Amino acid sequence: MDNKPSKIKRPSWDEFWFTLALFYSTRGTCDRLRAACLLVDRNNRLVGAGYNGSLPGHPHCDEVGHLMVDGHCIRTLHAEVNAILHSTADLEGATAYVLGTPCIDCVKKLISKSVKRILFTRDYDNKARGGEHIFELAEISGVEMKRVDMDFDEVINKELDILTGPGGAFQGKNTSFKIKENNSKEGNYEG
């Protein structure tokens, strides 16, 4: 083995947590939105994580259909609520990484748990239920609420480079990732 330093560029924390949020969302049980929320403390340690899912032991929307009230499915606990309920530490000063625009109820819960930053990366239309007020609530509480642009093609390929590079889980394998565009509107991400 030579002793050369690795030139690999690791993902930033934001890129890393949002990638993990993507994978969490694959466990979501309602196909109107597969959401995810990660709660990370000041030292970038994971202290909570959740996806939107039915209560334990309850049927999933993906199996029995949605439970619709006023045009919205109410069967699942939201990802942010699950993340808070199953958090493993005090959330004061924590950052919430949320995959889609959080709803106002979840923003209120995150703020009341003293989360200091709420970052989200995909636009989800929550306006019908007061979503237009989420930035206002955050500002009053001194919470940073921000949409982070994330180029997942670029980010995941960077991560795959590490996974297939020296020491990576798939070292020596050849793979690349491409988000296939379809002709629907951006992301097709509205519940």
Is residue 106 at the binding interface for Zn ion, with CB under 5 A as the rule? yes
Query: Between residues 77 and 156, which has the closer beta carbon with respect to Zn ion?
Result: 77
Q: Under the criterion CB under 5 A, does residue 61 sit at the interface with Zn ion?
A: yes
- Report long-range pairs for 71-76 (Cβ below 8 Å, ≥24 apart): 71/128, 72/128, 72/129, 72/191, 73/30, 73/32, 73/191, 75/30, 76/28, 76/29, 76/30, 76/52
Q: Which member of 80, 136, 159, 181 is catalytic?
A: 80
Task: Confirm whether 190 is a catalytic residue.
Answer: no
78 touching Zn ion, by CB under 5 A: yes
Footprint on residues 86-105 left by Zn ion (CB under 5 A):
103
| Residue 80: alpha-carbon gap to chain centroid | 9
Annotate each residue in 111-140 with x if it binds Zn ion (CB under 5 A) or - if it does not, as one string.
Answer: ------------------------------
Burial of 148 (0-12, 13-18, 19+ CB in 10 A): middle
Active site residues: 80
* Interacting residue ranges for Zn ion, rule: CB under 5 A: 30, 61, 66, 73, 75, 78, 103, 106
